[in-house]
């Protein structure tokens, strides 16, 4: 589905994946997270007569039709077909936010099929996709990955105890260089989060202390970005990774696996640092550097133990495809093999 329309005649949309720079676990307790939307896309189209492929798609279509209201009457009965093959590395699904991208793509495809432009309705798309994703996931998660898929670029995300999430674009220093890598293992985000939540119930005082440290470091990272200090951001990201390891040790789960620890050690040898992106336990990580030379050295040195992922910054978030999309000419902070 790489054209604007297929034979069924409805628009095709694409929603990007994400990486967490900082904020994992802390964002679930009101802390700040920083994410980047990346160029792995869920591609979707409303298809009359089709059935939903998953609970996420089912929730997304139902809630989209309710949000659209009277305009939904023009749509024939059907559902959305979503292709998430770009989120796979061989036979493995990798942790770049495929379920959130699916929710956003399914909502956007339904809106577009009803004649509503997603460019002018991003806030409505986020609200609808967030509700659908949380319903399908049993209320778990922060919805930061949904926000990245809708708005694109680098975002700062917070979910206060009361009121809607706070989402803001954020600028990273030109000197910050990132390498996204995969450890070769898959991780079960739900299992990791449930284990940490069980620890929170068992040892609330210790949990609050560890989460407080994560929140403080995430805020420090945001401050370093705002001041344009790439080196300070690298230091804060590395500290966040070590604090994730402490949380995992306390909770009895391997948030920072041996592969992540080795990646961080290698990055530090080159003047940078590395950490998991997301719940941990394997899967995707990100390395941070303040020079392009160090990032390039890491790319060469970490293979074949780690797979460097070919991703760019998805600057626009979800969009309606208008044909074969050209590659992003501006790779920005991301370095690949």
Residue 119 · residue 150 · CB < 8 Å: no
**Dist CA 230 CA 221 (whole Å):** 10
Token pair in block for residue 1 = 């589905």
Q: What pLDDT, on a 0 to 100 scale, did the predictor assign at position 331?
A: 67
Token pair in block for residue 117 = 């432009």
Per-residue confidence in pLDDT tens, the chain, 337 aa: 444 445 467 999 999 999 999 999 999 999 999 999 999 999 999 999 999 999 999 999 999 999 999 878 889 999 999 999 999 988 888 999 999 999 999 999 999 999 999 999 999 999 999 999 999 988 888 999 999 999 999 999 999 988 899 999 999 999 999 999 999 887 788 888 999 999 999 999 999 999 999 999 999 999 999 999 999 999 999 999 999 999 999 999 999 999 999 999 999 999 999 999 998 888 999 999 999 999 999 999 998 999 999 999 999 999 998 765 545 555 689 998 7
CATH code linked to domain 177-308: 3.30.70.890
**Domain 12-171+313-320 = CATH 3.30.70.260:** no
**Dist CA 160 CA 166 (whole Å):** 8
User: What are residue 158's DSSP bridge partners?
Assistant: 32, 166
Distances, alpha carbon 105 to alpha carbons 11, 143, 144, in Å: 11, 15, 15
- The domain locations on the chain are 12-171+313-320, 177-308
**Dist CA 22 CA 29 (whole Å):** 14
Token pair in block for residue 297 = 């050295």
| C-alpha gyration radius of the chain | 19
Residue 331 · residue 312 · CB < 8 Å: yes
Q: What pLDDT, on a 0 to 100 scale, did the predictor assign at position 4?
A: 41
Look up tokens 């969009």; give the residue: 319
Q: What pLDDT, on a 0 to 100 scale, did the predictor assign at position 179?
A: 98
Token pair in block for residue 207 = 């949990």
């Amino acid at each position: 589905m790489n054209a604007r329309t297929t034979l069924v005649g409805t628009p095709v949309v694409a929603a990007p994946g994400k990486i967490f720079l900082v904020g994992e676990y802390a964002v679930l307790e009101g802390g700040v997270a920083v994410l980047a939307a990346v160029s792995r896309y869920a591609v979707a189209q409303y298809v009359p007569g089709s059935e939903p492929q998953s609970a996420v798609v089912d929730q997304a279509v139902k809630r989209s039709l309710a949000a659209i209201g009277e305009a939904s009457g023009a749509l024939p009965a059907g559902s959305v077909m979503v292709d998430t093959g770009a989120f796979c590395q061989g036979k493995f699904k990798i942790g770049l936010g495929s379920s959130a991208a699916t929710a956003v793509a399914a909502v956007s495809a339904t809106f577009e099929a009803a004649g509503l432009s997603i460019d002018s309705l991003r806030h409505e798309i986020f609200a609808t996709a967030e509700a659908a994703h949380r319903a399908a996931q049993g209320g778990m998660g922060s919805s930061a990955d949904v926000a990245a898929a809708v708005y694109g670029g680098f975002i700062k995300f917070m979910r206060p105890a009361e009121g809607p999430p706070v989402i803001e674009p954020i600028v990273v220093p030109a000197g910050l260089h990132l390498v996204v890598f995969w450890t070769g293992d898959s991780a079960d985000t739900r299992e990791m989060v449930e284990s940490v939540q069980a620890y929170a119930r068992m040892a609330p005082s210790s949990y609050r202390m560890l989460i407080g440290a994560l929140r403080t470091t995430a805020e420090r990272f945001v401050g370093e970005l705002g001041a344009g200090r790439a080196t300070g951001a690298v230091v804060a990201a590395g500290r966040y990774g070590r604090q994730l390891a402490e949380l995992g040790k306390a909770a009895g789960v391997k948030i920072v696996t041996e592969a992540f620890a080795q990646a961080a050690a290698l990055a530090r040898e080159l003047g940078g640092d590395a950490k998991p992106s997301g719940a941990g336990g394997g899967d995707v990580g990100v390395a941070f550097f303040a020079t392009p030379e160090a990032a390039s050295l890491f790319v060469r040195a970490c293979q074949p133990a780690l797979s460097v992922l070919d991703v760019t910054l998805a600057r626009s978030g979800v969009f309606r495809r208008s044909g074969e999309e050209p590659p992003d000419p501006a790779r920005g902070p991301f370095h690949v093999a």
